Amino acid sequence: MNMDELRSRMSPDTVEYAERIMEMYEAPFARSVGLEIASISRDRVECYLDLRPELMNSMGRGHGAAVYALLDHTFAIASNLVHDCTGQNTDVSFYRPAQGRLTAVAVPVNRSRSLEVYDVRITNEEGKLVASGVCTAFVLRRDA
């Protein structure tokens, strides 16, 4: 994805952060597993992942680490949109085996000067819940 395509997926109030997002999109791990950005707004980030053969477990289902990678990177984009954050805690639940294309949506639960908390839900192509998580990030201060 190039910068113009990324900007087309961003809401007008977030386009100014396109360079920050492109850096996260181009992260080597995200690229290696194939994470893609569907849309970004200040209060909702949506990403997706097509489960390729190398992302499957020994039972032929999406590996839990691949599902978590989608959840975590979607959370990272949401929490780092306007300032630097670092993950502090994630509580994840898995509900059903993962297959095909997975979609993750991160929405803020609470934002403060020091912490940001997000609800992240992953669904399959039928819209069924595959996994969900509550993710917390520390807001990093540049003046500290």
Domains of the chain: 3-139 (3.10.129.10)
What was the pLDDT predicted at 142? Answer: 62
Distance, in Å, from the CA atom of 133 to the CA atom of 121, rounded to the nearest integer, reads 7
Note down pLDDT in tens along the chain; length 144 residues: 999 999 999 999 999 999 999 999 999 999 999 999 999 999 999 999 999 999 999 999 999 999 999 999 999 999 999 999 999 999 999 999 999 999 999 999 999 999 999 999 999 999 999 999 999 999 997 654
DSSP code of 56?
A: B
What was the pLDDT predicted at 21? Answer: 95
Taking a C-beta distance cutoff of 8 angstroms, is the pair 135, 72 a contact?
yes
Q: First-to-last CA distance in the chain?
A: 35
What was the pLDDT predicted at 87? Answer: 94
What was the pLDDT predicted at 141? Answer: 75
pTM summary value: 0.94
DSSP code of 32?
A: H
What was the pLDDT predicted at 53? Answer: 96
